[in-house]
Amino acid sequence: MDKRSLVLYLSGLAAAGAVVGLAASCSDQPRIKCTAGHGPFAAVYTPKGGGMDPCGMPGEQIGVEAYNYPLTGENGVNIDPNRGSLGMEPLAIAGEIGDRGADMNAAHKPYSVGDWATAEPTPDEFCAVTNPNDIEQDLAAIPAVPPSDAGAGSPFHPAISVKYHWTNVRFYNTPASPGTQLIADLSFSYQEGPGADGGAPPPPCTAEYKVVGLWPAIDCSADPPAMGTDPTKCSPDPDLSKNRPMGSGIGPDLATRCDENLNLCVLARDPPSFK
Protein backbone atom coordinates (compact mmCIF):
# COMPACT_ATOMS: atom_id res chain seq x y z
CA MET A 1 0.00 0.00 0.00
CA ASP A 2 1.61 3.30 -1.12
CA LYS A 3 1.37 6.05 1.45
CA ARG A 4 0.24 8.48 -1.22
CA SER A 5 -2.85 6.38 -1.82
CA LEU A 6 -3.93 6.24 1.81
CA VAL A 7 -7.22 8.05 2.36
CA LEU A 8 -7.53 9.89 5.66
CA TYR A 9 -10.49 9.22 7.83
CA LEU A 10 -10.50 10.64 11.32
CA SER A 11 -12.28 8.32 13.70
CA GLY A 12 -15.67 9.74 14.62
CA LEU A 13 -16.98 10.14 18.12
CA ALA A 14 -20.05 8.12 19.01
CA ALA A 15 -23.31 10.08 18.97
CA ALA A 16 -24.24 11.45 22.37
CA GLY A 17 -27.16 9.72 24.04
CA ALA A 18 -30.14 11.59 25.38
CA VAL A 19 -29.81 12.81 28.94
CA VAL A 20 -32.80 11.89 31.05
CA GLY A 21 -33.27 14.35 33.93
CA LEU A 22 -30.63 16.00 36.05
CA ALA A 23 -29.72 12.69 37.69
CA ALA A 24 -28.37 11.09 34.49
CA SER A 25 -24.98 9.51 35.14
CA CYS A 26 -21.82 9.47 33.03
CA SER A 27 -22.59 5.87 32.14
CA ASP A 28 -25.50 7.14 30.04
CA GLN A 29 -23.03 8.63 27.55
CA PRO A 30 -21.51 6.49 24.79
CA ARG A 31 -17.75 5.95 24.97
CA ILE A 32 -15.34 7.72 22.66
CA LYS A 33 -13.98 5.70 19.73
CA CYS A 34 -10.25 5.08 19.43
CA THR A 35 -8.62 7.91 17.53
CA ALA A 36 -5.47 10.03 17.42
CA GLY A 37 -4.47 13.60 16.73
CA HIS A 38 -4.12 14.41 13.02
CA GLY A 39 -0.61 15.55 12.10
CA PRO A 40 2.79 15.81 13.82
CA PHE A 41 3.35 14.69 17.42
CA ALA A 42 6.30 16.02 19.42
CA ALA A 43 7.98 12.82 20.66
CA VAL A 44 10.66 12.55 23.36
CA TYR A 45 12.96 9.50 23.19
CA THR A 46 14.33 8.35 26.56
CA PRO A 47 16.96 5.56 26.51
CA LYS A 48 15.83 2.52 28.43
CA GLY A 49 17.90 1.57 31.44
CA GLY A 50 18.87 5.18 32.09
CA GLY A 51 22.21 4.88 30.31
CA MET A 52 23.85 6.80 27.48
CA ASP A 53 22.09 7.15 24.14
CA PRO A 54 24.29 5.43 21.52
CA CYS A 55 22.32 6.99 18.65
CA GLY A 56 21.97 10.51 20.05
CA MET A 57 18.24 10.72 19.39
CA PRO A 58 16.53 13.00 21.96
CA GLY A 59 13.31 12.81 19.97
CA GLU A 60 11.64 14.06 16.80
CA GLN A 61 8.31 14.88 15.18
CA ILE A 62 6.18 11.93 14.10
CA GLY A 63 3.34 12.34 11.62
CA VAL A 64 0.25 10.43 12.78
CA GLU A 65 -3.01 9.63 11.00
CA ALA A 66 -6.02 7.62 12.16
CA TYR A 67 -7.92 5.68 9.47
CA ASN A 68 -11.17 3.74 9.33
CA TYR A 69 -11.88 0.81 7.05
CA PRO A 70 -14.67 1.21 4.48
CA LEU A 71 -18.11 -0.16 5.23
CA THR A 72 -20.54 -0.74 2.36
CA GLY A 73 -24.09 0.20 3.30
CA GLU A 74 -27.39 0.91 1.64
CA ASN A 75 -26.29 4.45 0.81
CA GLY A 76 -22.93 3.48 -0.64
CA VAL A 77 -19.50 3.19 0.95
CA ASN A 78 -19.15 4.67 4.44
CA ILE A 79 -16.58 4.21 7.17
CA ASP A 80 -16.70 1.50 9.79
CA PRO A 81 -16.52 3.29 13.18
CA ASN A 82 -15.64 0.02 14.92
CA ARG A 83 -12.66 -0.96 12.78
CA GLY A 84 -9.74 1.35 12.24
CA SER A 85 -5.98 1.65 11.98
CA LEU A 86 -3.20 4.05 12.88
CA GLY A 87 -0.32 5.23 10.68
CA MET A 88 2.95 6.83 11.79
CA GLU A 89 5.85 8.36 9.83
CA PRO A 90 8.82 10.27 11.30
CA LEU A 91 9.03 13.63 9.54
CA ALA A 92 12.82 13.27 9.32
CA ILE A 93 12.39 10.15 7.18
CA ALA A 94 9.99 11.97 4.86
CA GLY A 95 12.54 14.79 4.55
CA GLU A 96 15.40 12.42 3.76
CA ILE A 97 13.33 10.72 1.05
CA GLY A 98 12.60 14.13 -0.43
CA ASP A 99 16.31 14.94 -0.55
CA ARG A 100 17.67 11.52 -1.58
CA GLY A 101 14.88 9.79 -3.48
CA ALA A 102 12.90 6.72 -2.51
CA ASP A 103 14.25 3.39 -1.30
CA MET A 104 14.20 1.06 -4.31
CA ASN A 105 13.35 -1.97 -2.14
CA ALA A 106 9.57 -2.29 -2.37
CA ALA A 107 9.51 -4.36 0.83
CA HIS A 108 10.79 -1.37 2.83
CA LYS A 109 8.17 1.06 4.09
CA PRO A 110 8.77 4.68 5.18
CA TYR A 111 5.70 4.55 7.42
CA SER A 112 4.17 2.16 9.94
CA VAL A 113 0.51 1.04 10.06
CA GLY A 114 -1.28 -1.14 12.59
CA ASP A 115 -4.91 -1.80 13.50
CA TRP A 116 -6.53 -0.57 16.67
CA ALA A 117 -6.79 -3.50 19.08
CA THR A 118 -10.26 -2.35 20.18
CA ALA A 119 -12.87 0.03 18.81
CA GLU A 120 -13.08 1.87 22.15
CA PRO A 121 -10.54 2.57 24.90
CA THR A 122 -9.87 -0.17 27.43
CA PRO A 123 -10.77 0.51 31.10
CA ASP A 124 -7.45 2.36 31.60
CA GLU A 125 -8.54 4.79 28.81
CA PHE A 126 -5.80 3.71 26.39
CA CYS A 127 -6.15 2.47 22.81
CA ALA A 128 -3.43 0.06 21.64
CA VAL A 129 -2.12 -0.35 18.08
CA THR A 130 -1.50 -3.98 17.12
CA ASN A 131 1.47 -5.24 15.08
CA PRO A 132 2.62 -2.03 13.37
CA ASN A 133 5.00 -2.87 10.55
CA ASP A 134 8.65 -1.83 10.75
CA ILE A 135 9.82 1.38 9.13
CA GLU A 136 12.93 0.56 7.12
CA GLN A 137 14.78 2.68 4.56
CA ASP A 138 18.07 2.36 2.67
CA LEU A 139 18.64 5.77 1.10
CA ALA A 140 21.30 6.82 -1.40
CA ALA A 141 24.14 9.25 -0.79
CA ILE A 142 23.83 12.88 -1.88
CA PRO A 143 26.80 13.91 -4.04
CA ALA A 144 28.71 17.09 -3.22
CA VAL A 145 27.95 20.14 -5.35
CA PRO A 146 31.00 22.40 -5.86
CA PRO A 147 30.64 26.17 -5.51
CA SER A 148 29.81 28.03 -8.70
CA ASP A 149 28.32 31.27 -9.96
CA ALA A 150 24.92 29.69 -9.26
CA GLY A 151 25.56 29.24 -5.55
CA ALA A 152 27.79 28.18 -2.68
CA GLY A 153 27.45 24.47 -3.37
CA SER A 154 26.76 21.76 -0.79
CA PRO A 155 28.75 19.00 0.94
CA PHE A 156 28.62 15.24 0.39
CA HIS A 157 26.07 13.33 2.48
CA PRO A 158 26.72 9.58 2.90
CA ALA A 159 24.11 6.94 2.26
CA ILE A 160 22.01 5.99 5.29
CA SER A 161 20.12 2.92 6.49
CA VAL A 162 17.53 3.34 9.24
CA LYS A 163 15.03 1.06 10.94
CA TYR A 164 12.22 1.67 13.45
CA HIS A 165 10.57 -1.25 15.26
CA TRP A 166 7.53 -0.09 17.26
CA THR A 167 5.94 -2.03 20.15
CA ASN A 168 3.42 -1.23 22.88
CA VAL A 169 2.04 1.74 20.91
CA ARG A 170 -0.82 3.27 22.91
CA PHE A 171 -2.84 6.49 22.71
CA TYR A 172 -4.71 7.93 25.69
CA ASN A 173 -8.34 8.51 24.69
CA THR A 174 -10.91 10.47 26.70
CA PRO A 175 -13.21 13.35 25.71
CA ALA A 176 -10.69 15.71 27.40
CA SER A 177 -7.74 14.18 25.53
CA PRO A 178 -8.92 12.34 22.38
CA GLY A 179 -5.76 10.65 21.17
CA THR A 180 -3.42 13.57 21.89
CA GLN A 181 -1.04 11.64 24.20
CA LEU A 182 1.15 8.80 22.94
CA ILE A 183 3.38 6.29 24.71
CA ALA A 184 5.33 3.49 23.03
CA ASP A 185 8.55 1.49 22.92
CA LEU A 186 10.98 1.85 20.02
CA SER A 187 13.95 -0.19 18.82
CA PHE A 188 15.98 2.08 16.55
CA SER A 189 19.02 1.38 14.38
CA TYR A 190 21.05 3.64 12.11
CA GLN A 191 24.01 3.14 9.77
CA GLU A 192 25.88 5.59 7.56
CA GLY A 193 27.64 4.56 4.38
CA PRO A 194 31.24 5.37 3.37
CA GLY A 195 32.40 8.97 3.29
CA ALA A 196 33.18 10.98 0.20
CA ASP A 197 36.71 9.54 0.12
CA GLY A 198 35.39 5.96 0.16
CA GLY A 199 36.83 5.27 3.58
CA ALA A 200 35.32 2.95 6.16
CA PRO A 201 31.92 4.07 7.45
CA PRO A 202 31.33 4.76 11.15
CA PRO A 203 30.00 1.88 13.25
CA PRO A 204 26.22 1.38 13.29
CA CYS A 205 24.18 2.30 16.35
CA THR A 206 21.21 0.58 17.97
CA ALA A 207 19.11 1.99 20.81
CA GLU A 208 16.03 1.09 22.84
CA TYR A 209 13.76 4.02 23.73
CA LYS A 210 10.65 4.82 25.67
CA VAL A 211 8.65 7.23 23.50
CA VAL A 212 6.23 9.84 24.88
CA GLY A 213 4.42 12.06 22.38
CA LEU A 214 2.16 15.14 22.42
CA TRP A 215 -0.19 16.48 19.77
CA PRO A 216 0.01 19.03 18.30
CA ALA A 217 3.75 19.55 17.86
CA ILE A 218 4.40 23.20 18.80
CA ASP A 219 7.75 24.95 18.42
CA CYS A 220 8.89 26.71 21.60
CA SER A 221 12.06 28.33 20.28
CA ALA A 222 12.60 31.87 21.51
CA ASP A 223 11.87 34.57 18.95
CA PRO A 224 14.98 36.30 17.54
CA PRO A 225 17.06 38.04 18.66
CA ALA A 226 16.59 36.02 21.87
CA MET A 227 18.31 32.63 22.13
CA GLY A 228 17.17 29.34 23.60
CA THR A 229 13.53 28.53 24.30
CA ASP A 230 10.33 30.33 25.28
CA PRO A 231 8.15 28.09 27.49
CA THR A 232 5.24 30.54 27.22
CA LYS A 233 4.73 29.31 23.66
CA CYS A 234 3.35 26.08 25.15
CA SER A 235 0.57 27.90 26.98
CA PRO A 236 -2.97 27.22 25.69
CA ASP A 237 -4.02 30.71 26.82
CA PRO A 238 -4.24 33.59 24.34
CA ASP A 239 -1.57 36.28 24.67
CA LEU A 240 -2.24 39.33 22.49
CA SER A 241 0.94 41.00 23.73
CA LYS A 242 2.93 38.27 21.95
CA ASN A 243 0.63 38.02 18.92
CA ARG A 244 -0.84 34.67 20.02
CA PRO A 245 -4.60 35.25 19.85
CA MET A 246 -5.38 31.51 19.88
CA GLY A 247 -2.72 30.26 22.30
CA SER A 248 -0.66 27.18 21.50
CA GLY A 249 -3.53 24.91 20.47
CA ILE A 250 -2.47 22.35 23.08
CA GLY A 251 -5.28 20.98 25.27
CA PRO A 252 -5.74 23.32 28.25
CA ASP A 253 -5.89 20.44 30.76
CA LEU A 254 -2.55 18.91 29.73
CA ALA A 255 0.64 19.33 31.77
CA THR A 256 3.43 20.25 29.35
CA ARG A 257 6.94 21.69 29.25
CA CYS A 258 9.30 23.13 26.65
CA ASP A 259 12.02 20.61 25.81
CA GLU A 260 15.36 22.41 25.41
CA ASN A 261 16.84 19.61 23.26
CA LEU A 262 14.00 19.56 20.74
CA ASN A 263 12.69 23.15 21.05
CA LEU A 264 9.23 21.59 21.14
CA CYS A 265 6.40 21.55 23.66
CA VAL A 266 6.19 18.05 25.14
CA LEU A 267 4.28 16.25 27.88
CA ALA A 268 5.55 16.95 31.39
CA ARG A 269 5.24 13.27 32.35
CA ASP A 270 4.10 9.94 30.97
CA PRO A 271 0.47 9.81 29.81
CA PRO A 272 -1.95 10.68 31.21
CA SER A 273 -0.24 14.02 31.83
CA PHE A 274 -2.76 16.44 33.31
CA LYS A 275 -2.40 19.58 35.40
Q: What is the DSSP string of 69-93?
A: EEEEETTEEEEEEEEEEEEEEEHHH
Q: Is pLDDT at 77 greater than 90 in this prediction?
A: no
Q: What is the pLDDT of residues 212-247, one digit of tens each?
A: 999 999 999 999 999 999 999 999 999 988 888 999
In this model, does residue 20 exceed pLDDT 50?
Answer: no
Domain membership flag for residue 236: no
In a domain, 120, yes or no: yes
Q: In the predicted model, is pLDDT for residue 75 greater than 80?
A: no
Is residue 184 a part of any domain in this protein?
yes
**pLDDT exceeding 70 applies to what percent of the chain?**
88
Task: Quote the mean pLDDT of the chain.
Answer: 88
- Is residue 133, in this structure, part of any structural domain at all? yes
Per-residue confidence (pLDDT) for residue 71, from 0 to 100: 85
Domain count, the chain: 1
Q: Which pLDDT score, from 0 to 100, does residue 29 have? A: 62
Which residue range forms the structural domain that includes residue 212?
29-71+78-141+157-218
In a domain, 151, yes or no: no
In a domain, residue 256? The reply is: no
Q: Predicted confidence band at 74 (pLDDT cuts at 50, 70, 90)?
A: low
Q: Which of the four pLDDT bands, split at 50, 70 and 90, describes residue 163?
A: very high
pTM: 0.86
Question: How many Cα atoms sit within 13 Å of 229 on the Cβ side?
Answer: 17
Q: Considering the domain boundaries, does residue 15 fall inside one?
A: no
CA atoms within 13 A on the CB side of 235: 12
The per-residue pLDDT for range 194-210, each reduced to its tens digit, is 998 888 899 999 999 99
249 domain residue, yes or no: no
